[in-house]
């Protein structure tokens, strides 16, 4: 099952709002607010790679107040 970690930058002060919306997105298994370069880290799973790409591109990146994302596709899981 394709999995990705998505690192998200939000507009300043909107981390909680974006986190709340992230948790509603189908395929988002976990989402946490973090300190550092990025504001939110999410683990996303889907049935196919195309579906994973669709979730990241059309659902997560299009959320209001999301400024940028970095997606890391998992190659191997234990």
Q: What is the pLDDT of residues 54-64, one digit of tens each?
A: 999 999 999 99
User: Looking at domain 3-73, which CATH architecture does it have?
Assistant: 2-Layer Sandwich (3.30)
Strand arrangement of the beta sheet that strand 66-73 belongs to:
28-33, 40-45, 3-10, 66-73
Which comes out higher in pLDDT, residue 77 or 34? 34
Q: Where are the domains of the chain?
A: 3-73
CB 2 within 8 A of CB 55: no
pLDDT digits (tens, 9 = 90+) for 11-28: 999 999 999 999 999 999
């Amino acid at each position: 099952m394709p999995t990705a970690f998505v690192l998200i930058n939000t507009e300043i002060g909107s981390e909680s709002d974006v986190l709340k919306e992230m948790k509603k997105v189908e395929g988002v298994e976990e989402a946490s607010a973090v300190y550092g370069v990025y504001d939110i880290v999410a683990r996303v799973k889907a049935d196919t790679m195309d579906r994973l790409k669709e979730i990241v591109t059309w659902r997560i990146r299009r959320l209001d107040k999301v400024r940028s994302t970095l997606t890391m596709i998992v190659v191997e899981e234990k």
